[in-house]
A and B are shown apart, each in its own frame.
Chain A
Amino acid sequence: MPSVDPIVLELIAEGLTSMVREMRTIVIRTAYSAMIHEGHDFSCAVLTPDGHLLSASEVDQPTHLSALPWSARTILARYAGDIRPGDLFIHNDPYTGGTHLNDVVVLHPVFTEGHLLALLGVMAHWQDVGGMVPGSLSGGATEIYQEGIRIPAIRIAREGRIVPEISDLVFANMRLPDDRRGDFNAMEGACRIAEAKLIRMTGRWGVNTFVDAAGILLDRAEARLRSEIAKLPEGDYAYETYLDHVGGGDARPLPLRVKLTIAAGAIHADFTGCPPQVPGPTNLGPAHAWTATYTMVKAFLDPNSPINAGALRPIQVTAPLGTVINARPPAACGAIGEVRRALEGLIMGALSMADPERSVGDLKGASNITTIGGFDTRRARGFAFVEFPAGGTGAWRGADGNNAVRNFAEGDLSSIQPVEAIENVYPLRVERAILREGSGGDGKRRGGLGLQREVRVLCEEAALSVLSDRNTIPPYGVRQGLGGAPNRFSIVRDGQEMAPSQLPGKVTGFKMRRDDVLVMCTAGGGGLGDPLDRNPADVLNDVRYGYVPSEKARTVYGVVLIADQVDEGKTHALRQRLRSRRTHLVCGLLEGAEFLDNRRVAALSPKTAARMDLAPGTLVEVPNASGPSLRAWVRTDASLPDEICALGSSALTTLGIHAGARIWVRRVPFEGTIVQ
Chain B
Amino acid sequence: MSLAMDRQHIVGIDVGGTFTDVVLFDIASGQLTVAKVPSTPANQSVGVMNAIRSVETDLGRLQRIAHGTTVSTNALLQRKLAHVALVTTRGFRDTIEIGRTRRMIPSLYDPTFIRPAPLVPRPHRFEVSERLDARGAVLVPLDPAELDAAITAIRDAGVAAVAVCFLHSYANPQHERAAAEKIRAALPDIAVVTSAEVVSEFREYERFSTTVINASLMPVMGRYINALDRTLVAAECRGRLFTMSSSGGTMDVATACHLPVRTILSGPAGGIAGSLWVAGAMGLTDFITCDMGGTSTDVCLVEAGQPATVTEVAFAGYPIKGMQISINTVGAGGGSIAFSEAGNTLRVGPLSAGAEPGPACYSRGGTEPTVTDANMVLNRIGNSRRLGGHIELDRARAVQAVAELAARIGVGDVAHLAEGIVRIAVTRMASAIREITIEKGHNPSDFALMAFGGAGPMHGTALAEELGINTVVVPIHPGNLSALGLTASDQKYDLVRTFLRPLSDTTDEDLEAQLDAAMAQAADLLESRGFAPDAIGCEHSVDMRYARQAFEITVAMPERPASQARLRAAFFATYERYYGHVDHTAEIEIVNIRTTAVGRIRKPSLTPVPDAAATLKDAVLGQVAMIVSGQDVKATVYDRAKLPRDQPLTGPAIIEELGSTTVVLPEWSCRRDAYGNLKLTRR
Q: A189 vs B206: C-alpha distance in the bound complex, in angstroms?
A: 34
| Given contacts A420-B167, A435-B94, A29 and B439 within 8 Å (CB-CB) | yes
**Stretch of B343-351, B511-519, B663-671 on the interface side:** B343-351
Q: Is A431 an interface residue (CB 8 A)?
A: yes
Pairwise interchain contact A419-B579, C-beta atoms closer than 8 A: no
Most central of A59, A220, A360, A408 by chain B CB within 10 Å: A408
Question: Restricting to B421-463, which residues have a CB under 8 Å from any CB of A?
Answer: 421, 423-424, 427-428, 431, 434-435, 438-439, 441
Q: A435 vs B623: C-alpha distance in the bound complex, in angstroms?
A: 69
Pairwise interchain contact B97-A435, C-beta atoms closer than 8 A: yes
Q: Least Cβ distance of A345 to chain B in Å? A: 12
Q: Is A34 an interface residue (CB 8 A)?
A: yes
Choose one: A25, A418, A432; the contact of B438 (CB below 8 Å): A25
Choose one: A15, A182, A409, A429; the contact of B109 (CB below 8 Å): A409
| Given contacts A299-B110, A303-B109, A418-B202, A34 and B549 within 8 Å (CB-CB) | yes
Cβ proximity bits A13-35 to B, threshold 8 Å, 1 near / 0 not: 01101100110011001101010
Choose one: A7, A358, A424; the contact of B411 (CB below 8 Å): A7
Q: Least Cβ distance of A361 to chain B in Å? A: 9
Q: Is B264 an interface residue (CB 8 A)?
A: no
Pairwise interchain contact B579-A37, C-beta atoms closer than 8 A: yes
Q: A336 vs B378: C-alpha distance in the bound complex, in angstroms?
A: 56
Inter-chain contacts of B109 with A (CB < 8 A):
62, 295, 298-299, 303-304, 408-409
| Given contacts A58-B106, A412-B108, A389 and B94 within 8 Å (CB-CB) | no
Inter-chain contacts of B134 with A (CB < 8 A):
420, 423-424
- Can you name the residue of chain B whose Cβ is closest to the Cβ of A522? B101
Pairwise interchain contact B107-A408, C-beta atoms closer than 8 A: yes
Q: Is A568 an interface residue (CB 8 A)?
A: no
| Given contacts A37-B579, A420-B167, A423-B134, A11 and B106 within 8 Å (CB-CB) | no
Q: Is B91 an interface residue (CB 8 A)?
A: yes
Q: A58 vs B101: C-alpha distance in the bound complex, in angstroms?
A: 19
Inter-chain contacts of A29 with B (CB < 8 A):
438-439, 441, 578-580
Q: How large is the interface on B (under 10, 10 to 19, 20 to 34, 35 or more residues)?
A: 35 or more
Question: Restricting to B316-349, which residues have a CB under 8 Å from any CB of A?
Answer: 340, 342, 344-348
| Given contacts A30-B581, A423-B168, A6 and B344 within 8 Å (CB-CB) | yes
Pairwise interchain contact B411-A434, C-beta atoms closer than 8 A: no
Most central of B111, B133, B441, B551 by chain A CB within 10 Å: B111
Q: Is A5 an interface residue (CB 8 A)?
A: yes
Choose one: B104, B123, B417; the contact of A7 (CB below 8 Å): B417
Pairwise interchain contact A396-B111, C-beta atoms closer than 8 A: yes
Cβ proximity bits B537-551 to A, threshold 8 Å, 1 near / 0 not: 000000000001111
Q: A399 vs B115: C-alpha distance in the bound complex, in angstroms?
A: 11
Pairwise interchain contact B550-A412, C-beta atoms closer than 8 A: no
Most central of B95, B108, B438 by chain A CB within 10 Å: B108
Choose one: B112, B203, B410, B551; the contact of A420 (CB below 8 Å): B203
Q: Is A501 an interface residue (CB 8 A)?
A: no
Q: How large is the interface on A (under 10, 10 to 19, 20 to 34, 35 or more residues)?
A: 35 or more
Inter-chain contacts of A389 with B (CB < 8 A):
101
Inter-chain contacts of A416 with B (CB < 8 A):
98, 100-101
Most central of B101, B170, B420, B431 by chain A CB within 10 Å: B101
Question: Restricting to A61-100, which residues have a CB under 8 Å from any CB of B?
Answer: 62
Q: A339 vs B400: C-alpha distance in the bound complex, in angstroms?
A: 57
Q: Least Cβ distance of B468 to chain A in Å? A: 10
Pairwise interchain contact A38-B551, C-beta atoms closer than 8 A: yes
Q: Least Cβ distance of B446 to chain A in Å? A: 15
Q: Is B624 an interface residue (CB 8 A)?
A: no
Q: Is B409 an interface residue (CB 8 A)?
A: yes
Q: Least Cβ distance of B408 to chain A in Å? A: 10
Cβ proximity bits A165-193 to B, threshold 8 Å, 1 near / 0 not: 00000000000000000100010010001
Inter-chain contacts of B103 with A (CB < 8 A):
402, 405-406, 408, 412
Pairwise interchain contact B205-A418, C-beta atoms closer than 8 A: yes
Q: Is B64 an interface residue (CB 8 A)?
A: no
Choose one: A30, A408, A451; the contact of B113 (CB below 8 Å): A408
Q: Least Cβ distance of A626 to chain B in Å? A: 17
Q: Is A300 an interface residue (CB 8 A)?
A: yes
Pairwise interchain contact B427-A405, C-beta atoms closer than 8 A: no
Inter-chain contacts of B202 with A (CB < 8 A):
418, 420-421, 424
Q: A120 vs B99: C-alpha distance in the bound complex, in angstroms?
A: 36
Q: Least Cβ distance of A166 to chain B in Å? A: 22
- Can you name the residue of chain A whose Cβ is closest to the Cβ of B411? A6
Q: Is A502 an interface residue (CB 8 A)?
A: no
Pairwise interchain contact A7-B424, C-beta atoms closer than 8 A: yes
Cβ proximity bits B617-641 to A, threshold 8 Å, 1 near / 0 not: 0000000000000000000000000
Q: A416 vs B578: C-alpha distance in the bound complex, in angstroms?
A: 26
Q: A9 vs B93: C-alpha distance in the bound complex, in angstroms?
A: 51
- Can you name the residue of chain A whose Cβ is closest to the Cβ of B102? A412
| Given contacts A412-B102, A424-B134, A545 and B123 within 8 Å (CB-CB) | yes
Q: Is B416 an interface residue (CB 8 A)?
A: yes
Question: Restricting to B95-148, which residues have a CB under 8 Å from any CB of A?
Answer: 95, 97-104, 106-115, 121-123, 133-134
Choose one: B108, B167, B206, B549; the contact of A62 (CB below 8 Å): B108
Pairwise interchain contact B101-A26, C-beta atoms closer than 8 A: no
Q: Is B500 an interface residue (CB 8 A)?
A: yes
Q: Is B204 an interface residue (CB 8 A)?
A: yes
Inter-chain contacts of A424 with B (CB < 8 A):
134, 202, 500
Inter-chain contacts of A420 with B (CB < 8 A):
134, 167-168, 170, 202-204
Q: A424 vs B548: C-alpha distance in the bound complex, in angstroms?
A: 11
Inter-chain contacts of B203 with A (CB < 8 A):
418, 420-421
Q: Is A411 an interface residue (CB 8 A)?
A: yes
Q: Least Cβ distance of B123 to chain A in Å? A: 6
Q: Least Cβ distance of A11 to chain B in Å? A: 6
| Given contacts A22-B434, A29-B578, A418-B204, A7 and B98 within 8 Å (CB-CB) | no
- Can you name the residue of chain B whose Cβ is closest to the Cβ of A451? B98
Pairwise interchain contact B431-A14, C-beta atoms closer than 8 A: yes
- Can you name the residue of chain A whose Cβ is closest to the Cβ of B417? A7
Q: Is A618 an interface residue (CB 8 A)?
A: no
Q: Least Cβ distance of A618 to chain B in Å? A: 31
Inter-chain contacts of B572 with A (CB < 8 A):
none
Q: A32 vs B95: C-alpha distance in the bound complex, in angstroms?
A: 31
Q: Is A544 an interface residue (CB 8 A)?
A: yes
Pairwise interchain contact A404-B435, C-beta atoms closer than 8 A: no
Pairwise interchain contact A6-B579, C-beta atoms closer than 8 A: no
Q: Is A394 an interface residue (CB 8 A)?
A: yes
Cβ proximity bits A370-396 to B, threshold 8 Å, 1 near / 0 not: 000000000000000000011001101
Inter-chain contacts of A403 with B (CB < 8 A):
97-98, 115
Pairwise interchain contact A413-B102, C-beta atoms closer than 8 A: yes
Inter-chain contacts of B108 with A (CB < 8 A):
58-59, 62, 303, 408-409, 411-412
Q: Least Cβ distance of A88 to chain B in Å? A: 19
- Can you name the residue of chain A whose Cβ is closest to the Cβ of B347? A10
Q: A547 vs B94: C-alpha distance in the bound complex, in angstroms?
A: 11
Inter-chain contacts of B419 with A (CB < 8 A):
7
Pairwise interchain contact B346-A6, C-beta atoms closer than 8 A: yes
Q: Least Cβ distance of A279 to chain B in Å? A: 32
Q: Name 8 extra pairs, CB < 8 A, besides A18-B435, A411-B108, A421-B550.
A: A10-B346, A186-B580, A408-B109, A416-B100, A418-B100, A423-B168, A433-B92, A434-B94
CB-defined A-B contacts under 8 Å, sample of 5: A5-B411, A29-B439, A404-B101, A421-B202, A546-B122
Name B's A-contacting residues (CB within 8 A): 91-95, 97-104, 106-115, 121-123, 133-134, 167-168, 170, 202-206, 340, 342, 344-348, 409-411, 416-417, 419-421, 423-424, 427-428, 431, 434-435, 438-439, 441, 500, 548-551, 578-581
Closest 5 pairs between A and B when the two form their complex, measured CB to CB: A7-B420, A414-B100, A18-B431, A390-B101, A432-B91
Name A's B-contacting residues (CB within 8 A): 5-7, 9-11, 14-15, 17-18, 21-22, 25-26, 29-30, 32, 34, 37-38, 58-59, 62, 182, 186, 189, 193, 220, 224, 295, 298-300, 303-304, 358, 360, 389-390, 393-394, 396, 398-399, 402-406, 408-409, 411-421, 423-425, 429, 431-435, 451, 454, 544-547
